[in-house]
Amino acid sequence: MTTSETVSGTVSDFMTSEVKVITENETMRQACKLMYQHNIGSIIIIKYGVGKSSDTRKKEIPVGILTERDIARMIGFSAKFYPDTPVYEVMNKPLITVSPNTSVKDAVALMEQRDIRRLPVVDDEQQMIGIITAKDILKAVMNIFKGTTKGQDLTSEGFDLLGLLGAE
């Protein structure tokens, strides 16, 4: 199946703007509770810092990410799982981020290259403005797929996922 329609645009077109965060000194218990309460698979770890020299306001600086996979690995492979462990001891760092102007195609390539499913989106001052996940991208692909396949028999032709993403 060929289609001229692709998931084009930037990550800002598909990202989730409301991102749950926790500070680096909070505990695994607090992180797990927040993830459970909001039914999410990851949480961004932040620290507070100040902006440029002319701006003395405290800013939330994303420094790491904690995922369900990290928690499962910690419980499964560590003889010492303590719910009161600070998240900074477990979080994935350095945090891999993208700008809101990053193309979806480039975000997918980065996720594949780094074997990750989530990319925080930060502005020019490294302030987090959202997150794009593999699930967000899949939703976009499925919407195009639904629109592209109306009235078509898919049993005789393959589905060109890379074509929908605009990949060569």
What confidence score (pLDDT) does residue 2 get?
40
What letter represents residue 37's amino acid?
Answer: Q
Which tokens go with 104? Answer: 């979806």
R_g of the chain, CA atoms, integer Å: 19
Q: What is the pLDDT of residues 10-40, one digit of tens each?
A: 899 889 999 999 999 999 999 999 999 999 9
- Delimit the domains of the chain by residue range: 11-163
Query: The whole model's pTM is what?
Result: 0.77
Rounded to whole angstroms, the Cα distance separating 149 from 84 reads: 50
CATH number listed for the domain at residues 11-163: 3.10.580.10
